[in-house]
Amino acid sequence: MTTFTPADENAVAENPPMPVDRTLARVEADLAAGELALACRRLEGLVTSFPERLDLREQLAEVCRRRGDRVQAGRWSYLAERRDPAEVAAFERSARRPVRRMRALAWVTDPETAATAVARERLTELRDRARRRNRDPGVTYEQLRTAVSPPTDRPTLARRAVVAAAVALLCLAAALSLVGVLAGVWIVLSGIL
């Protein structure tokens, strides 16, 4: 639970959060001006603040689509009634594990709170898949909201460095072995001639 100091309360009073309708008006202005990245950031902020608003997710998916980002379009249209299967497949390839997909969707409550039956079904199916894969019947969207770090399907920089060092050592060992064999052959041939 966040506690506010008097200074924080003053900051909130001086800079109240922008209402959704004003932010959406700015998004429309951004889109009209061709500022797709700015419109995307504004919509991401709205989805973060109002994760249960499926209409905001669909608007964000549309902006991502216009930007040519199939992965993010698939991510934000994942709960939509109508979605592009190729975009959803791109999102699922980028977040292979069900738990990673759950985190990426940024849903923060029980799937039953979703506004549509389709969204409830998809959220529940994904949660159940994560529970089966992790052999953990307690996996919930609420739990993932507070997790420290998301799982990754990609090797970390440290893991890549270790692999690169191991490959370099193997190459060095192979080169030294080859030099030793060639030196032995040279000695044998020198003795014969």
How high is the pLDDT of residue 6? 41
- pLDDT for the residue 131: 87
> How many angstroms separate the most distant Cα atoms in the chain?
96
What is the sign of the dihedral through the CA atoms of 143, 144, 147 and 151? positive
Q: What is the DSSP string of 158-171?
A: HHHHHHHHHHHHHH
Question: CATH topology for 7-94?
Answer: 1.25.40
The predicted pLDDT at position 130 comes to 86
Q: Rounded to an integer, what distance in angstroms lies between the CA atom of residue 6 and that of residue 150?
A: 34
Model pLDDT, residue 114 = 92
Both tokens assigned to 130: 């994560």
8 token code pair: 């924080």
Is 31 buried (19+), middle (13-18) or exposed (0-12) by CB count in 10 A?
middle
pLDDT at 9 (0 to 100): 43
**CA gap 149, 73 in Å, rounded:** 23
Successive 10-residue mean pLDDT values, the chain, 193 residues: 40 60 94 95 93 94 95 95 95 91 89 93 91 78 57 60 88 90 84 74
Domain ranges of the chain: 7-94, 96-148, 157-193
pLDDT at res. 8: 43
What is the reported pLDDT for 7?
43
Q: Tell me the backbone φ, ψ of residue 10, rounded to 5 degrees.
A: -65, -40
